[in-house]
Amino acid sequence: MAIRWTDYPAAPHHDELIAPGGAPRHGAEAVARHLESLGISELTVRQKAAEAAVKAMGITFTVYHEEGGSIDRAWPLDIIPRVIEAAEWRRIDAGLRQRARALNLFIDDIYHAQRIVNDGVFPRQYLADSVNFRSQCVGINPPLGVWAHICGSDLVRGADGTMYVLEDNLRVPSGVSYMLENRQVIKRVFPELFEENTILPVDDYPSQLYDMLRAIAPPGIDKPEVVVLTPGIYNSAYFEHAYLAQQMGCELVEGRDLVVDKDDCVHMRTIDGWSRVHVIYRRIDDLFLDPEAFRPDSTLGVPGLLRAWRAGKVALANAPGAGVADDKLVYTFVPAMIRYYLGEEAILPNVPSYLCAEPDQLQFVLANLANLVVKPTNESGGYGMLMGPRSTEQEREEFSLLVRANPRNYIAQPVLQLSTVPTLIDQQIEPRHVDLRPFILSGSEVQVTMGGLTRVAMRRGSLVVNSSQGGGSKDTWIVETSK
């Protein structure tokens, strides 16, 4: 069966590959032509080859069930790539660097002088109500003044082509391993396209991450020992923890493998005895990180770890307390942060948002629940939200009670018609909505991945891209073109 882009379904949204009328977008011409030349039958064969490669490489993710169990599933990957021209990406890159700098300045300020609060730019009450503010971190000075060393900012493109920041993930952002593995699989599927086009690489992320982690080691350490701290095999992101440790040549450890001595130094259990650890890339949430400082019932963390970090004997990435900026209410203030700390206007806009904590905005949200997306400020994975246009009257009534009971816990946004990318569905090519999660590393410099993890809603018309709720993924190609 042939592929004709002039027959590709027209829609009121922005398609990343095909412009209205069926012409490929600038930068995507080679991909579109090649897909046409292959046809549906050959694409289906290559899709099956990609799925076989995913299974052979053991690329999985974990889905939790309400009954308390979990299941590992093969990572869902659609082979038709998302293409972004390098000229556009340079602007996105600059916007993400700007955002990361402002967020780190905000976190550092919050745990020190709180100038942004005292000057009335960020309301004091919102900080007092923050579930992610850690009083244990007040006054601590992490290396280089960086708190959020790894950030995953979710981007969406609206119907008019504008790229918005949807949210910032600053606690333990996940997904970068799937970005890297997607590229490895798609290189096998379309080797000819990688030979004929300038597709910018993502493969250097593990070395960039390792160099950043080494740079935050305590002073005077020539060869710092870096480890990845995981909650263990039952964590939904365990594949990623193991993958990144292996790619960086680091030890993957659990809390029981580490101990803090009387001098506040961290040591790792090895077959040769105890070995000093200088940097910990932790993939455990704050509250479970140290039973002495946070939850005393945690068996995942390391007793005394916060004490060692405060003493400067070990570096932690991301720093405890960084989650104070990982809050959808705080997200709405990022453009103001950029103006306040950097004296600049935001390069990348936020999605327009309503704060339910503000009485006038709350009344607007409650009166327009049928037309808005309402999100809890500290949930992830698409859970706990109301998709207004697809909700029933009973669901809206029940949700309004939740919002009224705790308005600080909710923001609302208009429903964006997310951009789409052609996707192979049952031997047909159909548009499916996507978002994009680039990853930003902050150390002695700020670096942004060349693209990111594109997540795709595999169900027709759905805007839910999370893999735990039936979403899939695509490789993201930043393509350098000649003018």
Residue 3 domain-assigned?
no
Q: Which domain holds residue 376?
A: 354-414
Answer with the one of 389, 414, 439 that is the final residue of a domain: 414
Q: Are residues 211 and 314 in the same domain?
A: yes
DSSP 8-state assignment for residue 343: S
pLDDT digits (tens, 9 = 90+) for 309-351: 999 999 999 999 999 999 999 999 999 999 999 999 999 999 9
Where among 294, 311, 342 does a domain terminate?
A: 342
Question: For residues 96 and 249, what is the distance between their CA atoms, to the nearest angstrom?
Answer: 28
Same domain? For 145 and 214 the reply is: yes
Same domain, 248 and 108: yes
pLDDT band at 122 (very low <50, low <70, confident <90, very high): very high
Token pair belonging to 24:
């490929």
SS3 62: strand
The pLDDT value given to residue 64: 58
User: Are 321 and 376 in a shared domain?
Assistant: no
302 and 209 part of one domain: yes
- At 63, the pLDDT band (50, 70, 90 cuts) reads low
CB atoms within 10 A of CB 248: 21
C-alpha–C-alpha distance, residues 396 and 100, integer Å: 35
CB 265 within 8 A of CB 308: yes
Residue type, position 319, single letter: A
Q: What is the mean pLDDT of the chain?
A: 93
**Is the omega angle on the peptide bond into residue 409 within 30 degrees of 0, that is, cis?**
no
**DSSP per position, 213-266:** HHHTSPTT-SS--EEEE---TTSTTHHHHHHHHHHHT-EEE-GGGEEE-TTS-E
CATH number at residue 289: 3.40.50.11290
Among 414, 438, 466, the domain boundary falls at 414
For the cut 70, the answer to whether the pLDDT of residue 179 exceeds it is: yes
Residue 47 resides in a domain = no
**Which residues are paired to 439 by β-bridges?**
152
Q: How confident is the model at residue 188 (pLDDT cuts 50, 70, 90)?
A: very high
Q: Are 261 and 384 within one domain? A: no
Counting the structural domains of the chain, the total is 2
Provide the 3-class DSSP secondary structure of residue 157.
strand
CATH number at residue 387: 3.30.1490.270
Do the domain assignments include residue 227?
Answer: yes
Contacts of 63 (CB under 8 A, 6+ apart): 70, 71, 73, 236, 467, 468
Look at residue 483 in the predicted model and tell me its pLDDT.
57
Distances (CA, A) of 463 to 106, 164, 432: 31, 15, 9
User: What is the average pLDDT across 39-51?
Assistant: 95
Q: What is the DSSP string of 384-447?
A: T-EEGGG--HHHHHHHHHHHHH-GGGEEEEE-----EEEEEETTEEEEEEEEEE-EEEESSSEE
For the cut 60, the answer to whether the pLDDT of residue 67 exceeds it is no
Judge whether 32 lies within some domain: no
57-61, 246-250, 464-468, 469-473: which is most confident: 246-250
In a domain, residue 190? The reply is no
Identify whether residues 136 and 211 lie together within a single domain: yes
In a domain, 222, yes or no: yes
406-420: buried (b, 16+ CB within 10 Å) or exposed (e) per residue?
ebbbbbbbeebbbbb
| In a shared domain, residues 324 and 368 | no
Same domain? For 366 and 336 the reply is no
In this structure, how many other beta carbons lie within 10 angstroms of the beta carbon of residue 250?
20
What pLDDT is stored for residue 165 in this prediction?
Answer: 97
Q: Is residue 404 part of a domain?
A: yes
Quote the pLDDT of residue 201. 95
Tens digits of per-residue pLDDT, 368-405? Answer: 999 999 999 877 656 788 988 989 999 999 999 999 99
